[in-house]
Structure 1
């Protein structure tokens, strides 16, 4: 067989959109970091794939800039190995305070951001670790060798036994087809489902490690039993900052300092572990990572690829995963408070929340109150820190976009196969998102506006349910469909209203503007329901108290409830 070569540092595999031509192109890791400012966005097969690759890129940057400043010089408070480019220890000098270290990291971030491009040290790091990014080398990227795989799994699951295989079509999360259940509406048919060019296979391999289901049964040998875990990103409610370019997106998400981050922790991405055996031994402890690079590159499986006629034959075995509860080092997730267990859990989206837009859960993304049971995503804390630096790097009027990408499972505990992908975003000016006002704090007022909108949405749902009752049809189904359409029609107007807010606006006037717009959108929704009316709607029925109940009484009830919830003030 002809020897294959593919190195992620020099061979093109990352899909991006160029800013100058708006055309899609593929670039290598070195090329991406050298020209990140020239690319608008990542452009892989799925948004969730782009998120998985974004985190890999961030792992590289976090590793580099936690060791080197913008000029490529190692920080003075590091004990550093020049040969391996690795930090052996942090803060060897007892005179160096953690606040000074955090200051150095922020200074590095600021200098790189203001320069507008990444420094050469990123390329030098990738060149030093090029052998760990070789897809077919002695340390195959995101894979293990036959020897390592056989040493870690039970004897009856070793490669020669041919068990524990995962088809390419299962790695491809647009298909996610197991050997037992065909994916009927897949974008490929038949044998083509298992054929991929190398660059796409690389992208799906990274994605699979992050969004693994639990259909495969092979596991590494451990002293204590464990269940095969889902991929780490699959267990989160993902959120990240989205910039105007790939450079800006990477920088806004490059969290170097945070209240839950230990600046003395040595960054350790998976490829810097000396051996796979060492990495798996560390994972068997199920200890939560103390550094972001390790978290961003956490494997859910050890994967081994046997190449037969240049086609991949993939073996997979699960490894223990640390628990997501209270893993507050993770910056890219929303959180919810578990009252019973007294801990934070990632606010994972499910099929029932499929149609709920980000703005309807505004308080999950931006902390509204100082309650201990409320927590905003770490990346939002980071943006807030950048906004409030003495040296202005994010001006008040800069639009900041929070984006969410969720790959939602089928809810089946024995498979967790992908059922849907949801992508959404919110855009606000920096001085609105991080309003310094106390009494008239914009996030509090926005949350109030969301609550009013939700109340009006509930009023409309009940109105639609009343009409269904009058027509003697399934009220839940009828009202559910009209409610979903109502919120879909609110989506763009509310986002536009949010994006146009500024820190200098009169809060009452702006909120009243939205209420008036909401009132108009409600009238349109009611009119759409009435257009399907029949004589029965007018004749009506008798309610539980033997009173007339028809379309007019239903409208009257709606108007009364909406009047209370909107509490409109007259425009000056």
Structure 2
């Protein structure tokens, strides 16, 4: 791929890179170049390529990535399919456990990974600017109108077309030069999360019409509630995201860089050509590396070094259905689905909620006994099975990251990004042992009930002052600030519950009491602010008729109802408060 000159106003004669900049040669060698940033155990950061990230995975704490939605992208489009294809999937829990206990790739495994990424196998397929087979792109891709667009098309937080974020620092007319390392991350992000907006019609795409392609779905991850289990090192995170596959990978299941090895009888369009297919995934490797767009990056020379400043993003393959073996999503189980629909469909995360507020979904370890309901991800169920089989320690410091995008206006724009992480006690993932899971879900439910009581107090105070309650979908609610204030407390509780055993009744009771007291204090603070903000007329209140009934609303009555609800929900904290009052009176 030839390097075009930079746009006017930029010097195009200097190609050397600044000292310390991620070094990728003019072909964009992702294996040996420094496309990723590794965070080591001591917190220091360093650039690594694909080869280094895998061979040194045991010493890398995590990867430093630009946005929360990027971790599943790097895992699915790069690290997991490479390790699965090179080493094979573990076929038993015992094999998985042996790999995990080792804590690193063995010498033999590192040699196989190096061979896989070497020049004799697929090394030349991981070159971002290769003239014939650029990684995850279509060589020579051209738009029907002959135009290219700004790289802002790749980054959802930057204004582009109809996608205009409220606080974007750039407009569509501004240049957004990306380093090769950043460009490959956002390239893969588009394959996973792109909006469903109209795409540029490509030369060679028989379905393009009038210079564009319509009817595009979002990228495959945009339709999921993504859940990624994480470990103490990158190696452990890779294993935690590796499913046990008793039958191994399918023979005809190939990652996108090995598309030419797929049987021609499948009739699927090549991801290296402008044409595309609407099709199911052939297996896990195909699913993880699914190419939902046809893309071409245009690099240029600048005084800062090699940069990507223009791009073409056109329609790509369309996934007909998310298979039930997708490892990274939670599910909604429907007992009686409509004709032609599966029993399980991906369940998206709810915008504006912390991950712990959705623990009832993350910890739904069994299918609903009756009717419809949530069902947790394949990988979280597997972790529970591994712990139950004593392959994974019950005190292992498991983490979970959730990610999602909220789309608006026919999924053509990004409204909000969803991302959170939290510690999760492994014991809560045991399907056959629900005692700790029930305790944790009770704590979450208590927070929800108190949050509703706070909103009820707010509405009663508004009525007492002569106003109306807040509409369900409008206004700022006190429950949002209240639940946010509990975030750190819930994380401490989750970490503490990692070490609680089934016989530690006293310790568990103290933990629940401490939680309730924290909830009581946070609710009291928020209620005090509401009562202080109520106007004087709320003290006198008013009477509202509803049919034959009359309802009296006063601030004092509203506060009494709220306190009663608080005592009803937080029974331990209420009893402890009464005991303190009695002891104080007796003294």
Q: TM-score, normalised on structure 2?
A: 0.79
Aligned to 2:537: 536
- Report deviation, 1:474: 5.4
Aligned to 1:130: 123
Equivalent residues of 1:405, 1:423 under 8 A apart: yes
Task: Give CA deviations for 1:295-350 in whole Å, capped at 9, x if unaligned.
Answer: 1111111113455667554223213412345x21111111123455362221223x
- Kindly indicate whether residue 206 of structure 2 is the aligned counterpart of residue 221 of structure 1: yes
Map of 1:43 onto structure 2: 64
Does residue 1:58 correspond to 2:44, yes or no? no
State the partner residue of 1:162. Answer: 146
User: Do the aligned residues in 1 keep the contact of 2:157 with 2:165 (CA within 8 Å)?
Assistant: no
Q: Secondary structure, in 3 states, of the residue corresponding to 1:46?
A: coil
Change (3 A) 1:307 1:488: closer
Q: How many aligned positions are there?
A: 512
Report the counterpart of residue 8 of structure 1 in structure 2.
30
CA distance in 1, matches of 2:298, 2:563: 67
Distance 1:512 1:306 in 2: 60
- Equivalent runs, 1:26-425 vs 2, <5 Å: 26-55=47-76, 56-66=78-88, 102-103=91-92, 106-118=93-105, 119-120=109-110, 121-127=112-118, 128-137=121-130, 138-146=132-140, 149=141, 158-159=142-143, 161-162=145-146, 165-178=148-161, 185-188=167-170, 193-217=175-199, 218=201, 220-221=205-206, 227-257=215-245, 263-264=249-250, 267-274=253-260, 280=269, 286-306=278-298, 312-324=309-321, 327-338=323-334, 340-341=337-338, 343-349=343-349, 353-367=350-364, 370-371=367-368, 373=372, 374-389=374-389, 392-409=390-407, 411-413=408-410, 415=412, 417-425=413-421
RMSD: 3.2
Inter-CA distance 565–166: structure 2 relative to 1 (3 Å threshold) = same
Change (3 A) 1:132 1:347: same
Structure 1 gap segments, 5+ residues each: 68-100, 150-157
- Alpha-carbon contact 1:435-1:441 (below 8 Å) kept: no
Whether 1:23 aligns to 2:44 is yes
Contact 2:403 2:419 in 1 (8 A): yes
Describe the shift of the 1:510–1:182 C-alpha distance in structure 2 as closer, same or farther (beyond 3 A).
closer
Relative to structure 1, is the Cα distance of residues 143 and 320 closer, same or farther in structure 2, using a 3 angstrom cutoff? closer
Which residue is 1:155 aligned to?
A: none
Q: More deviation in 498-507 or 228-237?
A: 498-507
Q: Is 1:562 aligned with 2:566?
A: yes
Judging changes above 3 Å, is the alpha-carbon distance between structure 1 residues 436 and 344 closer, same or farther for their aligned structure 2 residues?
Answer: closer
Give secondary structure in 1 for the equivalent of 2:401: strand
Which residue of the partner structure matches residue 456 of structure 1? 450
Is the CA contact (8 Å cut-off) linking 1:465 and 1:476 kept in structure 2? yes
Aligned to 2:18: none
- What is the DSSP-based 3-state SS (H/G/I as helix, E as strand, rest coil) of the residue aligned with 1:371? coil
Do the aligned partners of 2:220 and 2:319 also contact (CA within 8 Å) in 1? no
1:179-204 Cα offsets, whole Å, 9 max, x none, are: x6665632446765331111111111
Deviations 1:119-147 (A, max 9, x none): 3122221112111101122211001122x
In structure 2, distance between residues paired with 1:481 and 1:268: 49
1:475 is paired with a residue of what secondary structure?
coil
Q: Distance in 2 between matches of 1:251 and 1:328?
A: 20
Secondary structure of the 1:336 match is strand
What is the rounded CA distance, in whole Å, between the counterparts of 2:88 and 2:417 in structure 1? 33
Deviation at 1:244, TM superposition (A): 2.0
Q: Deviations over 1:509-554 (max 9, x none)?
A: 5444433432232222211222323322222222335564211110
Q: Does residue 433 of the first structure (1) align with residue 433 of the second (2)?
A: no
Per the TM alignment, residue 559 of structure 1 is displaced from its structure 2 partner at its CA by: 2.5
Distance in 2 (alpha carbons) for counterparts of 1:24 and 1:193: 28
The aligned counterpart of 1:94 is none
- After superposition, the Cα gap between the structure-2 partners of 1:262 and 1:444, relative to the gap in structure 1 and judged at 3 Å, is farther
> Partners of 1:315 and 1:371 in 2: how far apart?
45
* 1:92 alignment counterpart: none
Looking at structure 2, the residues matched to 475 and 503 of structure 1 have their Cα atoms a distance apart, in angstroms, of: 45
After TM superposition, the structure 1 stretch with the greater mean CA deviation from structure 2, 295-304 or 419-428, is 419-428
Q: Secondary structure at the match of 1:110?
A: helix
Alpha-carbon distance between aligned partners in 2 of 1:44 and 1:193, rounded to the nearest angstrom: 22
Give runs of aligned pairs for residues 464-475 of structure 1, distance below 5 A.
464-473=458-467, 475=469
Asked if the contact 1:133/1:141 (under 8 Å) is kept, the reply is: yes
Secondary structure of the structure 2 residue equivalent to 1:542: strand
User: Match for residue 557 of structure 2?
Assistant: 553
Q: What is the CA–CA distance in structure 2 between the aligned matches of 1:337 and 1:427, rounded to whole Å?
A: 26
| Counterpart Cα distance in 2 of 1:320 and 1:189 | 29
d(CA) in 2 for partners of 1:209 and 1:329?
20
Distance in 1 (alpha carbons) for counterparts of 2:558 and 2:462? 11
Cα distance in 2, alignment partners of residues 485 and 160 from structure 1: 50
How many angstroms apart in 1 are the aligned matches of 2:357 and 2:179?
40
Q: Quick one: distance in 2 between partners of 1:403 and 1:570?
A: 36
8 Å CA contact 2:231, 2:397 repeated in 1? no
Q: C-alpha separation between the residues in 1 aligned to 2:166 and 2:250?
A: 51
State whether residues 159 and 172 of structure 2, in contact with CA within 8 Å, keep that contact through their aligned partners in structure 1: no
**8 Å CA contact 2:191, 2:292 repeated in 1:** yes
**Distance between the aligned counterparts of 2:159 and 2:67, measured in 1?**
13
Question: Kindly tell me: are residues 488 and 307 of structure 1, through their superposed partners in 2, closer, same or farther at Cα, counting changes over 3 Å?
Answer: closer
